[in-house]
Amino acid sequence: MDDAGIVEQVRELRPLIRRNALRAERGRVPDEVADALTGTGINRMNVPRRYGGHRTPLGVQVDAFAEIAAGCASAAWTALSHAAVACIAALSPDEAQDDFFTGPKGPDVRIGGTLVPGATAVPYDGGYVVNGASGFATGCHHADWHLLTAAVAAADGSPPDGPPEVVRAAVPMAEPEILDDWHAHRSRPHGQQHRPGPGRSRARAPRAPGRPDARRAAPLEGERGRPVPPHAGAAALLRLGGPGGARGGPCGEAEFGERSRRGITCTSYERQYEAAVTHFQVAEAQLRISGAELVAARPTREIADKAGSGAAYTPLERARIRPESGCLTRLCKEAVDLLASAAGASSLQRDVPVQRIARDINALCLQSFVAPSTDLEIHGRVLSGVDPRTPFL
């Protein structure tokens, strides 16, 4: 299996994904959707070639996730999260990579994870005993591994001398407990339950990669031009899927065409598409989606070029990619809001896609890496020569 035609394969699954979007609202992305996406090779996109992975170019990955989002934004977010964490897992020591990518599922393994430090790691027998919770664990129901962030704690409970060391610990999903505590108004089917339960999981040495080795951002042998460095690539994958969700939603021709055939209540318009206000709304929404795609193209190209050349990022370049990502997400939200507001009260029914898409895009704008206001502040602080107040640059 290779990544040739992966975007087309994912596009062919759009009817299946869209048909199950409402079903996903009841709890999580259905197994048949996750399995069908795995069959396209999408989980291999960031797996090293030596394990049978593709190291798919970032631009192709963005297009693939946009196709999923056109059917269901939550399915796209879940698949995209697995791909992003696989990118980080590919920077782990060789022994840990062997654990990840040579198991029963091979390069099709699904690896979930979170950057939010919610657990503690106590050194033990060459590895760590991990306790606590790992929240916002997108895709945990379908994951084989969970890559969590934990603060190292002394075995005797003594406080650290200075800021605590933070490590990345990998835990097989057979070990932690999944808590049913994700009851959100928006983006319901992500499955972001917390885990592991207290005292449940032990991460042995090869399963406690620690901080990703930045040197592994350099291309592996025979893979120049494919790897994506963790400080930009994984974060970019979590941000550049927005236009797909907007384009596949109320701005999609089929969806809008169906909604616009209804009349406008309390007016003489028997068809919404006859009203001038509708023409303005459609045009404004389309311009915002086109603007988002243009904004997305520049950081996607820059990240791919950096990966190919091995050139380092400047702090300003890293800081600029974040507000660009926040900007494109905001443009998508504005496009969806425009048409959702014109969809009428009948669109509040749960089986009408417009309301689900509006909730999903609102949820995306609250994600910590994407929040436009925070990203603007970080960029502005770097431009002003002061501390950006974030370790994620």
Least confident of 43-57, 94-108, 188-202: 188-202
Q: How confident is the model at residue 42 (pLDDT cuts 50, 70, 90)?
A: very high
pLDDT at 100: 96
Least confident of 20-29, 176-185, 202-211: 202-211
Residue 96's domain is classified under what CATH number?
Answer: 1.10.540.10
Same domain, 118 and 88: no
Domain C-terminal end among 95, 110, 125: 110
Within a domain: residue 265?
yes
Within a domain: residue 220?
no
Structure tokens at 220: 């592996």
Same domain, 71 and 133: no
Same domain, 50 and 163: no
Same domain, 377 and 243: yes
Within a domain: residue 186?
yes
How many domains is the chain partitioned into structurally? 3
Strand, helix or coil for residue 147: strand
User: Which ranges of 273-383 would DSSP assign to H, the alpha helix?
Assistant: 276-309, 315-341, 353-364, 372-383
Dihedral, CA atoms, 55, 59, 60, 66, nearest 10 degrees?
130
pLDDT at 19: 92
Which residue, among 71, 84, 15, 72, has the nearest Cα to 43 in the 3D structure?
A: 84
- pLDDT of 240 strictly over 60: no
Domain C-terminal end among 90, 110, 130: 110
CA atoms within 13 A on the CB side of 98: 5
Within a domain: residue 372?
yes
pLDDT at 183: 61
- pLDDT of 238 strictly over 80: no
Q: How far apart are the two ends of the chain, measured CA to CA in Å?
A: 35
Same domain, 171 and 254: no
Cis omega (within 30 of 0) for bond into 196: yes
pLDDT at 24: 81
Q: How confident is the model at residue 303 (pLDDT cuts 50, 70, 90)?
A: confident
Strand, helix or coil for residue 258: helix
Least confident of 88-102, 206-220, 251-265, 279-293: 206-220
Over residues 182-199, the mean pLDDT reads 48
- CA-to-CA distance for 154 and 276, rounded, in angstroms? 67
The parent domain of residue 353 ranges over 239-383
Residue 171's domain is classified under what CATH number?
Answer: 2.40.110.10
Q: How confident is the model at residue 172 (pLDDT cuts 50, 70, 90)?
A: very high
Structure tokens at 74: 């939550």
Within a domain: residue 298?
yes
Within a domain: residue 84?
yes
Residue 310's domain is classified under what CATH number?
Answer: 1.20.140.10
Per DSSP, which regions of the chain are E strands?
Answer: 111-113, 119-124, 127-132, 145-152, 166-172, 201-203
Within a domain: residue 67?
yes
Same domain, 96 and 119: no
- CA-to-CA distance for 378 and 393, rounded, in angstroms? 9
Within a domain: residue 391?
no
Where is mean pLDDT largest: 136-145, 157-166, 197-206, 242-251? 136-145
The answer to whether 115 touches 85, Cβ cutoff 8 Å, is no
Least confident of 131-135, 151-155, 202-206, 271-275: 202-206
Q: How confident is the model at residue 357 (pLDDT cuts 50, 70, 90)?
A: confident
Which residue, among 313, 329, 320, has the nearest Cα to 380 in the 3D structure?
A: 320
Same domain, 99 and 120: no
Same domain, 358 and 282: yes
pLDDT at 381: 96
Same domain, 99 and 148: no
- pLDDT of 203 strictly over 80: no
Least confident of 37-41, 161-165, 228-232, 386-390: 228-232
**Pairing state of beta strands 119-124 and 166-172?**
unpaired
Average pLDDT, the chain: 79
Q: Which helix (H) or strand (E) holds 16?
A: helix 14-19
Same domain, 86 and 119: no
Structure tokens at 75: 């399915």
- pLDDT of 282 strictly over 80: yes
pLDDT at 29: 92
Domain C-terminal end among 110, 127, 151: 110
Residue range 111-170, pLDDT digits in tens: 999 877 788 889 888 888 888 888 788 888 899 999 988 889 988 888 888 777 888 888
Q: Which helix (H) or strand (E) holds 101?
A: helix 94-101
Where is mean pLDDT largest: 85-89, 135-139, 251-255? 85-89
Same domain, 160 and 178: yes
The answer to whether 342 touches 283, Cβ cutoff 8 Å, is no
Same domain, 249 and 362: yes
pLDDT at 257: 60
Over residues 177-206, the mean pLDDT reads 50
CA 375 to chain centroid, in Å, comes to: 17
Q: Which residue has the higher pLDDT, 136 or 46?
A: 46
